[in-house]
Chains A and B, each alone.
Chain A
Amino acid sequence: MITFTNNSDSEEEPCNERTSLMSAESPPVPSYQDGLQAPEAGEAQTHRKRRTGSGRSPSSAANGSTSGSSLPVRESAQENEEEELTLKYGAKHVIMLFVPVTLCMIVVVATIKSVRFYTEKNGQLIYTPFSEDTPSVGQRLLNSVLNTIVMISVIVVMTVFLVLLYKYRCYKFIHGWLILSSLMLLFLFTYIYLGEVLKTYNVAMDYPTLILIIWNFGAVGMICIHWKGPLQLQQAYLIMISALMALVFIKYLPEWSAWVILGAISIYDLMAVLCPKGPLRMLVETAQERNEPIFPALIYSSAMMWTVGMAKPDAAARGPSQQMWDTAEDGRVNHRSPLHSNSEILETRTPGTTHPVTSLEELEEEERGVKLGLGDFIFYSVLVGKAAATASGDWNTTLACFVAILIGLCLTLLLLAVFKKALPALPISITFGLVFYFSTDNLVRPFMDTLASHQLYI
């Protein structure tokens, strides 16, 4: 996933983030970018660096080295500390990603298992033009490979287009594109989803109620995602739109094509993020050069802010208090500059204790959450959802894929902590997921079924 930096709303200082890019993927109309940002242990360092005036945005290892050159003395000491912080908070970041990924998968699996609509075959998308209804296995395989080629080419073209738009600063166009795609998701797909759920449970709903519900849901979603909103609400909306998109893929991708596409997209992701001329990498580098935050609207962020003291009248907290705040526009960047913190404070919720105001603005020790692109959510959910839909009513396969994906995510985050640069999130998880799907479906299932029929336990 490509992550975009949206500079039009980055009022405050450039995002000093360690951005790690994750898999690239651009679905039909909208292009969903993923980005994974490294645990912001480095954030604290860069924050201090910023205070000393070197305001750099370390977006990757390259940046780390450039900022290192400016402050050589503090660098080594900071690096050690950074190392510790990274690993210490690493486990927390893993859980901060486990939870939303799990939630998204639960929504998708629950829908697949209960709503018939998403497992019925009702045609295919134009991105997979070849039909799989052929009698021979070879023909079917060939068709699925061709479908994959078409789909991946579409994704590549859209990604490159997006990168070009970004390079030539057509921010309005990108904005418009993303707004259009989230409009479609939040209104049209939600309407279809709600309709199918109501049909499944045979619940009647009149149109005025429906319009009210859909309108409110969609409008609040648009505001939360593209503008400002409470962090958890925004996270919830992002999870929901990922689930909706995954359900669309599960419904409209033919069987074999879906698996081949999953495999191909992890390879593409790997190449796009790691190769020097990969579009995603170019995107990150461009964002770094311009010192802009990565585009926020299509990245899931789990930001957590630890403030030591703030000069704001409300929501000041002494000591580490978890203030969840979020503005969709600035990409979970440090909201440090006092001029702009005010607007952010309005959205701040302090679930913890609120202490009286301190008039001194002390050092904000900030820890940024991790970011994961929505495309990753989508493809993880597609894998698990397809496992739930097609594994002959077997729950073991679904669970095995679920565990495999979580472990892949864990390993990816570990690598992230080690390499501290942009990494694709799809390859490891999808590989594990595919291996576990096929092996559990074909090997484990008969074994466990036979054991269960004799009520044997191993």
Chain B
Amino acid sequence: MGAAMFFGCAGVAFGPALALVLLTVAAEPLRVIILVAGAFFWLVSLLLASLIWFVSVRLSDREDARLQFGLLVFGAAVSVLLQELFRFAYFKLLKKADEGLAMVSEDGRSPISLKQMAYVSGLSFGIISGVFSVINILADSMGPGVVGIHGDSPYYFLTSAFLTMALVFLHTFWGVIFFDACEKRRYWCLGLVVASHLVTSGLTFLNPWYEASLVPIYIIVVCMGAWAFFTAGGSIHNVLKCLSCKREEDSHVMMYSALRVPLED
């Protein structure tokens, strides 16, 4: 415990998110606004889900542990569904904003594309979801103490951090896939995203049996990542081209010389 645990877990949980934000979002004001607004939408969804859970707990028998756990499961499921609902609402808002921006811009094109908005909104959901899940745990990890004295897993902090990182990635990928699915009206994609979110959340119920929860979740992350990559327009060809670092000068030169000829006439 202590600073080492804190910084280590914080780095694991938020390192990729921080890198993504610094490299892709921080420079553009519009993306920062979309990031913060996405966080707001997620918070509202969490608020509603907590309200539902709170009311259900109040109305139920506090002593019954099984019932309480059942209500927790119910609350988690409701929360997942509400998150996806608010993701859809955010999609609607961003679509409208996109049209508005396109209208007032000088060349009729919006300064930010819907795909970029999808990515940033997914990232924002991921970051705020991760932060809300793990920040109190991180704060506790700074202080003194030993984990797992009463028989719980001693890897609590580390696995929490890894789960958070997975969640950040997942939300980003889900954002990309979701927006694309809404745009192209592929409802089966939407259903799959919601289902995978429910499955992921359900897998965390297997904690502390980490082999059964972390490994499948990371498999889901990789699958979703690949799906989002192909949805966003990536392909094997792109990857190879990027890796080979070849420059496309030839075609430009040809175009330029093709343009020059008429002028010199």
A interface residues, Cβ below 8 angstroms from B: 83-84, 87-88, 91-92, 94-95, 98, 393-396, 399-400, 403-404, 406-407, 410, 436, 439-440, 442-444, 446-452, 454-458
Q: List 21 A-B contacts (CB under 8 A).
A: A88-B104, A88-B106, A91-B29, A395-B135, A396-B132, A399-B128, A399-B135, A403-B40, A404-B40, A407-B37, A410-B37, A440-B43, A443-B54, A444-B47, A444-B50, A447-B75, A448-B50, A456-B76, A456-B201, A456-B205, A458-B133
Mask of B120-133 contacts with A, CB within 8 angstroms, 1/0: 00000000110111
In chain A, what residue has the closest Cβ to B82?
A458
B200 at the interface (CB under 8 A from A): yes
In chain B, what residue has the closest Cβ to A86?
B104
Interface residues of B in 26-45 (CB under 8 A from A): 29-30, 32-33, 36-37, 39-40, 43
B67 at the interface (CB under 8 A from A): no
A98's contact among B36, B43, B69, by CB below 8 Å, is which? B36
Least CB distance, A432 to chain B, in whole angstroms = 8
A92 touches B29 (CB 8 A): yes
A455 touches B208 (CB 8 A): yes
Least CB distance, B68 to chain A, in whole angstroms = 8
Interface residues of B in 46-79 (CB under 8 A from A): 46-47, 49-51, 53-54, 69, 72, 75-76, 79
B76 touches A458 (CB 8 A): yes
B32 touches A436 (CB 8 A): no
In chain B, what residue has the closest Cβ to A406?
B36
Mask of B89-109 contacts with A, CB within 8 angstroms, 1/0: 000000000000100111000
B interface residues, Cβ below 8 angstroms from A: 29-30, 32-33, 36-37, 39-40, 43, 46-47, 49-51, 53-54, 69, 72, 75-76, 79-80, 83, 101, 104-106, 111, 128-129, 131-133, 135-137, 139, 156, 159-160, 163-164, 167, 200-201, 204-205, 207-208
Which 6 pairs between the two chains have the least Cβ-Cβ distance? Answer: A91-B29, A455-B207, A95-B29, A443-B50, A447-B50, A457-B204
Residue numbers in B under 8 Å from A394 (CB-CB): 136
A396-B29 contact given A87-B104, A407-B40, A458-B129, CB 8 Å threshold: no
Please measure, in the bound complex, the distance between the C-alpha atom of A95 and the C-alpha atom of B47, giving whole angstroms.
26
A455's contact among B32, B105, B106, B159, by CB below 8 Å, is which? B159
B47 touches A84 (CB 8 A): no
Residue numbers in A under 8 Å from B76 (CB-CB): 451, 456, 458
B207's contact among A98, A442, A443, A454, by CB below 8 Å, is which? A454
B133 touches A448 (CB 8 A): yes
Residue numbers in B under 8 Å from A446 (CB-CB): 50, 54
Please measure, in the bound complex, the distance between the C-alpha atom of A448 and the C-alpha atom of B43, giving whole angstroms.
12
B106's contact among A84, A400, A440, by CB below 8 Å, is which? A84
A457-B47 contact given A84-B106, A91-B29, A98-B36, CB 8 Å threshold: no
Least CB distance, B180 to chain A, in whole angstroms = 24
